[in-house]
């Protein structure tokens, strides 16, 4: 290519990088002198030996120019406060080839440097405008069709680009989950919303490939393929050699991925359309035909800083920056355009300036469109809730034939059995849910043949077979990534996290991915998931921190997440019905916390009394979101607010308090922990002479703090109040656990204090 004198001289004049990159292209075209090869017709190779035809090249070039000028526009208008995002795609425009060679029905989970991909994918459907849609997103306009102005994201509902603002590599597990779900649908007879031979596309940077979340996704992809199970995911590593300012060692990506078993490696030159097109095509065709996980190593560069605030001259040498700018893929595309005779210098510059004008005009237009101006507008898609529709769905019981098949006949229906304890009734409720929803899947560690470590899922694998109830590899991140993939494809996933402590390993799959999708897609995409988690403390015989985790704060902090915790079997069934209805109707992500210590509890006061076993609620019964349960409803000398293990503890302590102090004690089982029903809590507190908050979680950031806030803000701040909570420590092994967790004696002592 022709030498570029501009970069070195302009830098001494105080020009910014965007101006330099812009001027480099113009001068390169103006100064170009070379031989011209003229292709014969639209479908002739753009250059001898290339598999890319002339028409395809021209369209790819236009997509590259759109991407570049959106970047340049953002750098200029950000300082005018007209756009709000400057992480650009310059140097990555070769990803447009991936878009051209795939379909608009191939779900895509994209890296933030995907402007070229998006511009090209917009061609797949008539009447769509990549420039205006992108400008609206840059401007944070309410009319942004991707997120409704909530963030600059690459996304489009009709183009199957799921909007996201992933943390580093956090979208890779759900991309694999989507690929697996495409194949799983056939096995369970589920109708996909996309063609059966679709593939999932996932792009990311070379630096991100080192992240633990990326590595777990690659491992799970290989684990799947090793067992001859289809997983048609195309992982596109856009290797620009740098992560913000940290350089990737030369050759690292190729050496790290070229020889991985069951992750098929392809290389493509993303800097050269003529050279890279066939290479990308080979990877796409391989993934689609073999249904194997495929790693496409796409060579790119980054010709401007990470974002507008990244002044690279402060940490990169002039010579290095000059070399980077000389490798700009748009210069190579310009060379192809000129040497092929498809453009003259004048016509190419005219296209370049026309694209600039189009992008700036769209941005100015977008700046005049309305933006989010109220909290209500911001939060509207976060946690949709339609109570009447949810109630109707939860109580729907039109699946009697499937119920009879699942339970083995009329006389074996659970509502016709004697009262049972929590573990049994959760299992019965799961049978019910899976009979009701043929698209539901239950999976996790040890849930299939073994029936879970506490036998809660016993019998489900035999009843619904391995295509719907199955074990996963020991990796919570992938379990939740699979759940998102199944949800993307219209199924109802019920993943199990074996212990609450294990959830924290994978929290971002719910916090940053699953629960945020409705918000960042303006409710266009949803993640209907019911996550079951064996939880809380007081487990005997198999204790310690990892099996007695009461840290619910990490769940309650997640915007939009529904968290419920039943303490008895009948509540477990009706709550599960409502959670699945919330997922089906409103697309909600739900966390269903199962108190391990209550799984097998049959007695309440004395051994053999059987007072903690309950009749199974027949179909048609459900529990409303936020609805609590009251014990001794008319008592008001002391009102105890609690949940989970605290319910039985409070009921036992109440007998002692009544005998000793003569008080009538009302126990309030909240059942729903997020969102807390503040109005219900306040109403119960107002009639109380004294209040006690019993929370087995830690003193700091526990549910109890939320309960007290609701009480005080509800007007009962002057009522005598005590809090009985766990200590701010990890839970030790054996009997020492009871030193850090609240007990009945602590509840009684708190009552005496108020007396």
Rounded to the nearest 5°, which phi and psi values hold at 638?
Answer: -145, 130
Domains of the chain as residue ranges with CATH: 23-369 (3.40.50.970), 387-598 (3.40.50.970), 629-754 (3.40.50.920)
Give the pLDDT confidence of 177-232 residue by residue, as tens digits: 999 999 999 999 999 999 999 999 999 999 999 999 999 999 999 999 999 999 99
**Cα separation values, 482 from 64, 98, 170, 187, 475, Å:** 33, 24, 13, 16, 11
The string of DSSP codes covering 612-655 is T-BPPPPTT----TT--EEESTT--SEEEEE-THHHHHHHHHHH
3-state secondary structure of 738: helix
State mean pLDDT over 328-347: 96
Catalytic residue among 92, 211, 431, 547: 547
Is residue 540 very low, low, confident or very high in pLDDT (cuts 50, 70, 90)? confident
Rounded to the nearest 5°, which phi and psi values hold at 593?
Answer: -90, 120
User: Which residue did the predictor score with more confidence, 41 or 446?
Assistant: 446
Q: How far is CA 349 from the centre of its chain?
A: 42
Q: Which residues does 280 contact at the CB level (< 8 Å), separation at least 6?
A: 97, 98, 101, 268, 296, 298
Q: Tokens 């890779």 appear where?
A: 172
Distance separating alpha carbons of residues 72 and 69, to the nearest angstrom: 5
111 is catalytic: no
**Residue 325 clears pLDDT 50, i.e. is over it:** yes
Distance separating alpha carbons of residues 187 and 662, to the nearest angstrom: 62
β-pairing verdict for 242-243 and 246-247: antiparallel
Q: Tokens 């840059």 appear where?
A: 138
Q: Show the tokens assigned to 51.
A: 């598999």
**Cα separation values, 742 from 535, 542, 583, 615, 731, Å:** 16, 19, 34, 29, 12
User: Which residue did the predictor score with more confidence, 48 or 474?
Assistant: 474
pLDDT at 541: 67
Strand order, beta sheet including 638-642: 629-631, 665-669, 638-642, 691-698, 721-726
491: nearest Cα among 479, 501, 483, 499? 483
What single DSSP character describes residue 141?
A: B
29: nearest Cα among 353, 252, 497, 246? 353
**Cα separation values, 413 from 427, 579, 615, Å:** 13, 22, 12
**Residue 5 clears pLDDT 60, i.e. is over it:** no
What does the H/E/C string look like for 35-70?
A: CCCCCCCCCCECCCCCCCEHHHHHHHHHHHHHHHHH
Paired residues of 595 in beta bridges: 535
Q: Which sign does the torsion angle of CA 419, 420, 422, 427 carry?
A: negative
pLDDT at 304: 87
pLDDT at 543: 67
Give the pLDDT confidence of 27-42 residue by residue, as tens digits: 999 999 988 887 778 8
Q: Which residues does 541 contact at the CB level (< 8 Å), separation at least 6?
A: none
Q: Is the distance from CB of 379 to CB of 157 less than 8 angstroms?
A: no
pLDDT at 549: 82
**Cα separation values, 216 from 33, 265, 397, 439, 591, Å:** 50, 17, 40, 26, 23
Q: Which sign does the torsion angle of CA 708, 712, 716, 722 carry?
A: positive
% of the chain beyond a pLDDT of 70: 97
Distance separating alpha carbons of residues 316 and 326, to the nearest angstrom: 15
**Cα separation values, 62 from 34, 269, 282, 422, 561, Å:** 22, 19, 23, 62, 42
Give the pLDDT confidence of 268-318 residue by residue, as tens digits: 999 999 999 999 999 999 999 999 999 999 999 999 888 777 778 778 888
Task: Give the CA count within 13 Å in the CB-facing half-sphere of 73.
Answer: 31
**Cα separation values, 115 from 19, 124, 152, 698, Å:** 19, 15, 12, 46
End-to-end CA distance of the chain, in Å? Answer: 89
pTM of the model: 0.94
Q: Show the tokens assigned to 295.
A: 């790693």
Is residue 733 very low, low, confident or very high in pLDDT (cuts 50, 70, 90)? confident
Distance separating alpha carbons of residues 461 and 455, to the nearest angstrom: 12
**Residue 244 clears pLDDT 90, i.e. is over it:** no
**Residue 8 clears pLDDT 50, i.e. is over it:** no
Paired residues of 641 in beta bridges: 668, 693
Q: Is the distance from CB of 301 to CB of 328 less than 8 angstroms?
A: yes
pLDDT at 181: 98
Is residue 15 very low, low, confident or very high in pLDDT (cuts 50, 70, 90)? low
Distance separating alpha carbons of residues 342 and 346, to the nearest angstrom: 12
Q: Tokens 């991407």 appear where?
A: 67
Strand order, beta sheet including 589-595: 469-471, 440-444, 492-497, 529-535, 589-595, 562-564, 672-674
Q: Is the distance from CB of 11 to CB of 316 less than 8 angstroms?
A: no
> Is residue 672 within a helix (H) or strand (E), and if so which, with residue range?
strand 672-674
What burial letters (b/e) apply to 402-439, b meaning 16+ CB within 10 Å?
ebeebbeeeeebbeeeebbbbbbbbbbbbbbbbbbbeb
State mean pLDDT over 241-267: 94
Distance separating alpha carbons of residues 414 and 420, to the nearest angstrom: 9
Give the pLDDT confidence of 487-506 residue by residue, as tens digits: 999 999 999 999 999 999 99
Give the pLDDT confidence of 125-183 residue by residue, as tens digits: 999 999 999 999 999 999 999 999 999 999 999 999 999 877 789 999 999 999 999 99
Task: Give the CA count within 13 Å in the CB-facing half-sphere of 420.
Answer: 20
- Rounded (10°) angle between helices 54-78 and 130-138: 20
Average pLDDT of every residue of the chain: 93
């Amino acid at each position: 290519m022709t030498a570029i004198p501009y970069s070195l001289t302009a830098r001494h004049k105080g020009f910014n990088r965007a101006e330099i990159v812009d001027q480099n292209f113009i001068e390169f075209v103006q100064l170009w002198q070379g031989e011209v090869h003229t292709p014969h017709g639209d479908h002739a190779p753009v250059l001898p030996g290339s598999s890319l035809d002339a028409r395809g090249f021209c369209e790819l070039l236009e997509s590259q120019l759109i991407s570049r000028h959106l970047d340049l526009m953002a750098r200029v208008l950000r300082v005018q406060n007209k756009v709000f995002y400057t992480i650009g795609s310059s140097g990555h425009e070769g990803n447009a080839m991936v878009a051209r060679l795939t379909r608009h029905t191939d779900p895509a989970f994209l890296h933030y440097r995907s402007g070229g991909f998006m511009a090209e994918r917009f061609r797949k459907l008539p009447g769509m405008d990549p420039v205006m849609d992108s400008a609206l997103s840059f401007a944070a306009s309410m009319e942004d069709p991707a997120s409704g102005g909530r963030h600059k994201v690459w996304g489009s509902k009709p183009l199957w680009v799921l909007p996201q603002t992933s943390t580093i590599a956090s979208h890779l597990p759900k991309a694999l989950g989507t690929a697996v779900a495409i194949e799983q649908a056939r096995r369970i007879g589920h109708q996909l919303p996309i063609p059966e031979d679709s593939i999932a596309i996932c792009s990311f940077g070379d630096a991100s490939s080192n992240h633990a979340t990326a590595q777990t996704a690659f491992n799970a992809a290989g684990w799947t393929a090793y067992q001859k199970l289809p997983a048609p995911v195309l992982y596109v590593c856009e290797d620009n050699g740098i992560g913000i300012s940290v350089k990737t060692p030369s050759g690292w990506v190729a050496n790290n991925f070229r020889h991985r078993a069951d992750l098929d490696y392809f290389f493509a030159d993303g800097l050269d359309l003529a050279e890279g097109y066939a290479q990308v095509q080979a990877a796409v065709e391989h993934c689609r035909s073999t249904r194997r996980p495929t790693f496409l190593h796409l060579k790119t560069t980054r010709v401007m800083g990470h974002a507008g605030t990244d002044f690279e001259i402060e940490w990169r040498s002039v010579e290095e920056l000059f070399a980077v700018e000389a490798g700009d893929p748009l210069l190579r595309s310009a060379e192809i355009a000129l040497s092929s005779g498809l453009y003259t210098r004048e016509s190419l510059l005219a296209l370049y300036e026309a694209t600039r004008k189009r992008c700036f005009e769209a941005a100015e237009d977008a700046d005049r469109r309305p933006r989010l101006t109220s909290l209500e507008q911001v939060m509207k898609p976060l946690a949709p809730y339609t109570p009447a529709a949810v109630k109707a769905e939860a109580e729907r019981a039109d699946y009697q034939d499937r119920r009879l098949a699942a339970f083995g006949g009329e006389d074996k229906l659970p509502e016709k059995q004697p009262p049972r304890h929590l573990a049994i009734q959760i299992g019965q409720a799961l049978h019910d849910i899976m009979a009701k929803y043929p698209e539901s899947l239950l999976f996790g560690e040890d849930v299939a043949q073994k029936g879970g470590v506490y036998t809660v899922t016993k019998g489900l694998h035999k009843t619904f077979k391995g295509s719907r109830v199955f074990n996963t590899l020991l990796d919570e991140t992938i379990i939740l990534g699979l759940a998102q993939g199944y949800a993307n494809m219209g199924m109802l996933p019920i993943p199990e996290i074996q212990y609450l402590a294990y959830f924290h390993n994978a929290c971002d799959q719910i916090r940053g991915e699953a629960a945020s999708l409705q918000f960042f897609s303006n409710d266009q995409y949803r993640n209907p998931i019911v996550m079951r988690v064996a939880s809380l403390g007081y487990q005997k015989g198999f204790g310690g921190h990892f099996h007695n985790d009461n840290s619910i704060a990490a769940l309650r902090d997640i915007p939009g997440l529904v968290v419920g915790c039943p303490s008895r079997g009948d509540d477990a069934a009706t709550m599960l019905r409502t959670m699945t209805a919330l997922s089906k109707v409103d697309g909600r992500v739900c966390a269903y916390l199962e108190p391990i210590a209550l799984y097998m509890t049959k007695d309440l006061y004395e051994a053999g009394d059987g007072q903690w076993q309950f009749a199974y609620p027949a179909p048609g019964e459900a529990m409303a979101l936020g609805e609590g349960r009251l014990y001794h409803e008319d008592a008001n000398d002391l009102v105890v607010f609690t949940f989970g293990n605290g319910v039985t503890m409070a009921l036992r302590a109440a007998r002692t308090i009544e005998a000793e102090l003569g008080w009538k004690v009302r126990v309030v089982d909240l059942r729903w922990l997020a969102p807390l029903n503040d109005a219900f809590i306040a109403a119960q507190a107002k009639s109380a002479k004294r209040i006690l908050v019993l929370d087995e979680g830690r003193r700091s950031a526990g549910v109890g703090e939320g309960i007290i806030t609701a009480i005080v803000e509800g007007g009962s701040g002057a009522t005598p109040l005590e809090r009985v909570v766990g200590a701010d420590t990890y839970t030790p092994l054996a009997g020492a656990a009871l030193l850090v967790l609240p007990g009945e004696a602590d509840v009684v002592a708190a009552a005496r204090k108020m007396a």
